[in-house]
Chains A and B, each alone.
Chain A
Amino acid sequence: MKKLNYLVRLSLAAIVISGFALVSPVNSEDLKVGFVYVGPVSDHGWNYEHDQGRKALEKALGSKVKTSYVESVPEGADAARVITKMASSGHGLIYTTSFGYMNPTLKVAKKFPKVKFEHATGYKRSKNLNTYSGRFYEGRHVAGLIAGKMTKSNVLGYVASFPIPEVLRGINATFLAARSVNPKVRIKIIWVFTWFDPGKEADATKTLIDQGADIILQHTDSPAPMQVAEKRGKWAIGQASDMSAYGPKAQLTAIINNWAPYYIQRTKEVLNGTWKGNQDIWGGFKYGTVKLAPYNKAIPADVVAMAEKARKGIMDGSVHAFQGPIKDQSGKIVIKAGERANDGMLAKMNFYVEGIEGKIPK
């Protein structure tokens, strides 16, 4: 009986192993590209857009690449396990797409020197590890211009997640742009201390609208703020993806994360042998990483023209979201007249610009 049991188990194991072999044929010609996502690909936000990038990569390079992904991987020990598994199963290039994967990616990259790694939004690099990010604040600049022109109550509402440089950069870029076209504009910021909780994001949006905001901007991942704005007859700017399905009337435009150009470029480099480590690329409008959803038809033509002018200006370098002189809340000049914020400053931004009320939560 025991022996039979053993045989059964052995044959089961054999079936399982052969099954694995069937689904992943090892072909040394193909480049296997792996993606690690922090949330579900169906989140209609951050992870969804990374997966759109993966699909675009498959489409662009066809049979030369094979891609695979693991979704909802928690940041921390689990991430190291998943990345190791990918590296040891024949992947030649691995994209890890959340800030919290930084240290696990670095650790695994050291163990697998022949595999190439790409980590989104981090700052640790090595011989076989690059980092990449998006200049989403460029999109916020245009959103801020539109919001400043479109608001009737002169109050913008901002649903914010965590007080980290990325989010503060977005708030400052929005406010500076809005003030530049409307000196009366104010911004109300509510911190929800989560990236994703549709209920709480909706509550924060209702609160902002109840307190007079008529344009909602968000730096959280769910479409709840857009939906509340639609229901209450207010405007909103979509985040990460085109959210017009949730706010067909409300969405003025959306700042779309478009990772496809980066993924295609880097993967091509691996294929033709020109890929180098220790690189860092922040793509903006010019590179294609940041895109805008179609403008709402309700926006007057002169406002659309102004927005387009700013977008093109950012692309040709004549416009910058952080063009000095810029003061912080205490009135101290942080960016001198004629200067622009450099990447080092942008990466560490930890202040509100002059004119924003309230304090950054500690």
Chain B
Amino acid sequence: MMPDWLTPAILTIVTASTPLVFAAVGEIVVEKSGVLNLGIEGMMIIGAIAAFAIGVNTGSATMAIIGGAVGGMLMALIFGVLTLNLLANQVATGLALTLFGLGLSALIGHAYVGKTFPGLPKLDIPVLSDTPLVGPLIFGQDFLVYFSVASVIFVGWFLNKTRWGLLVRAVGENHDAAYAIGYSVKLVRMMAVLFGGALAGLGGAYLSLAYTPFWVENMTAGRGWIALALVVFASWKPLRAFIGAYLFGGITIIQLHGQGIGVDIPAPIMSMFPYLATVIVLVLISKDASRSLLNAPACLGRSFHPSS
């Protein structure tokens, strides 16, 4: 017999993990093209306020979601122009992007404090959605959850099975060689950066539209940084990032449930678990140095200019 708190607990895990899935999968594409964008948090928070502002003003969930993606993309565009065209340092620019995003979102958000959004519509198929556990889990989520799963499948397929994906990886592995055979490194990287920005924006939009449908300053609360860690945790593989995000979300929620049931494990230790798990997995995957290094893009974080 299944305890009756199990289904809601698993549903909570889905909500907690979805923003991380979006941001991490987007960053994988960015890093695969050889660019390290540390500004995920900044792109997410702009995505969150853009989606919320548009949602409140238009009342349309679709417009809000698109707004979130575009907001993240605009931030990514700033990053792209600075690092790809003007060859600014990627680490410094990424950090600046986060600070800028937090400040700008606060400024835009002043007018939206205290407003609420009805949330995203959920899929509801008669009979199917009412099946215990499976029903609400597979057939009863909101649109963005399915979209996050689709983005994992799409990115996995794109990077490994398509010519364009090969090009992204080529640019990330050896930008000189890719340039020598006639590809525009700058263009490919810009596209990857914009894609990453759009997904980070969606992650933010999920926070302000579905997770906690309101706006408050700094509401991403460090999730961009967790997504960044997940990319390394996943050794740049979308499916592993998905699993990692759910593991992370899962442990967070289970420790909350553990406290409620009265499991006698000190709460701070349980809060530490997700991070501890990341460290352990990192140790395990780095044990075989040759294999884990194979996955890290060789040109990660290095600026490219044809003259150098």
The answer to whether A203 and B5 have CB atoms under 8 Å apart is no
Is A273 engaged at the interface, CB distance under 8 Å to the other chain? no
Query: Known: A44-B216, A359-B264, A361-B267. Is A199-B9 also a contact (CB below 8 A)?
Result: no
The yes or no answer to B223 lying at the interface (CB within 8 A) is yes
Give A185-204 interface residues, CB cut-off 8 Å to B. Answer: 188-194, 196-204
B182 beta carbon closer than 8 Å to chain A: no
**Residue of A39, A190, A197, A203 with most chain B CB atoms under a 10 A cut-off:** A203
- Complex: A208 Cα to B8 Cα, angstroms: 11
Does B305 lie at the interface of the complex (its beta carbon under 8 Å from any beta carbon of A)? Answer: no
CA distance A357 to B267 in the complex (A): 15
* Contact of A361 (CB < 8 Å), options: B116, B211, B216, B266: B266
Chain A's nearest CB lies how many Å from the CB of B89?
A: 25
Known: A42-B106, A361-B268, A362-B266. A190 touches B260 (CB 8 A): yes
By the criterion CB–CB under 8 Å, are B214 and A211 in contact? no
Q: In the complex the two chains form, is B266's CB within 8 Å of A42's CB?
A: no
Bound-state Cα–Cα, A192 to B260, Å: 12
CA distance in complex: A198, B45 (Å): 13
Interface residue ranges of A34-64 to B (CB < 8 Å): 39-40, 42-44
Q: For chain A, what secondary structure do more than half of its interface residues adopt (helix, strand, loop), or is it mixed?
A: mixed
Size band of the interface chain B makes with A:
35 or more
Q: Which residues of B contact A245 (CB under 8 A)?
A: 114-116
Interface residue? A224 (CB, 8 A): yes
Inter-chain CA distance A208–B261, complex, in Å, is: 9
Residues from chain A with Cβ under 8 Å of B113 in the complex = 42-44
Given contacts A199-B16, A207-B12, A245-B114, contact A231 B119 (CB under 8 A): yes
- The distance in angstroms between the C-alpha atoms of A207 and B106, with both chains bound, is 29
A43 with B217, Cβ < 8 A, contacts A227-B116, A357-B262 known: yes
Task: Determine the distance from Cα of A207 to Cα of B219 in the docked complex, in whole angstroms.
Answer: 20
Q: A220: shortest Cβ distance to chain B, in Å?
A: 11
> Would you give the 0/1 interface string for A200-224, flagging 1 where the beta carbon is closer than 8 Å to chain B?
1111101111110000000000111
Interface check B291, CB cutoff 8 A: no
Interface residues of B in 203-249 (CB under 8 A from A): 207, 211-214, 216-219, 221-223
Q: A358 at the A/B interface (Cβ < 8 Å)?
A: yes
Q: How far is the CA of A40 from the CA of B118 in the complex (A)?
A: 25
Q: Are A222's CB and B8's CB within 8 A?
A: no
Q: Is the CB of A207 within 8 A of B9?
A: yes
Evaluate contact between A200 and B252: CB separation under 8 angstroms.
yes
**B253, CB-defined interface residue at 8 Å:** yes
Q: Cβ of B221 and Cβ of A197 under 8 Å apart?
A: yes
A351 interfacial contact with B, CB 8 Å: no
Give chain A residues whose Cβ lies under 8 Å from the Cβ of B110: 42
- Give 4 nearest A-B pairs by CB, closest first: A197-B221, A210-B8, A198-B212, A40-B217
| 12 residue pairs from A and B, CB less than 8 Å apart | A188-B260, A197-B221, A198-B212, A199-B211, A199-B221, A202-B212, A203-B253, A207-B9, A210-B5, A227-B116, A246-B114, A246-B116
